[in-house]
Amino acid sequence: FEPIRGNVETRLRKVAEGQFDATVLAMAGLNRSGLLQQWMEPISLQRLLPAPGQGALGLEVRSDDAWLAELIAVLDHPPTRLAVTAERAFLARIGGGCHAPVAALGQFEEVGDGLMLEGLIASPDGRQMVRQMLVGRADAGEELGRELADRVLAAGGRRILEDLADSP
């Protein structure tokens, strides 16, 4: 992975010119802008987990503004909120910031009300990776996120982060 700058058209041009083998872009944005092509391939979640909270939108309302809170309550999607709560708890327990090689994804089981949370810590070059999954109650997302983080850290994730902190 290498950083690539520019808008979507610039990034696609850089790939077409051979400066990069590929680029990672949001499929929804490509579709919406009419740039999605048949040769483009989605990245499977088995291959690459997203960053915690990736794609989720958050709205903030003043605590004393009950009228506005009630007005936008219809925008709340409880399954997404519960999944993102678990993902954020995972990240908080890991202690990673926006540059740490940490990923997490919460998804609801097809049957029942269980939440499956998958998380990982990887070295920047991808050679070392600790990836685990945990299933628990959706309403206990924070606890699930912290427990998964503890497991990932204990399984080698802590060492990856320590090595990252020690590198120049």
Strands (E) in the chain, as ranges, are: 102-108, 114-122, 129-137
Global pTM value:
0.82
Q: What is the pLDDT of residues 126-161, one digit of tens each?
A: 899 999 999 998 889 999 999 999 999 999 999 999
Q: How far is CA 147 from CA 57, 67, 129, 136, 157, in A?
A: 25, 37, 18, 10, 13
Task: Give the per-residue pLDDT at 52.
Answer: 92
CA 24 distance to own-chain centroid: 14
Band of residue 167 on the pLDDT scale cut at 50, 70, 90: confident
Task: Give the per-residue pLDDT at 17.
Answer: 95
* β-strand partners of 137: 114
Contact indicator for 104, 118 with CB cutoff of 8 Å: yes
* SS3 category, 168: coil
Task: Give the per-residue pLDDT at 95.
Answer: 86
Task: Give the per-residue pLDDT at 82.
Answer: 92
Q: Can you tell me the mean pLDDT for 83-106?
A: 89
Q: What is the pLDDT of residues 41-65, one digit of tens each?
A: 888 888 889 989 987 888 899 999 9
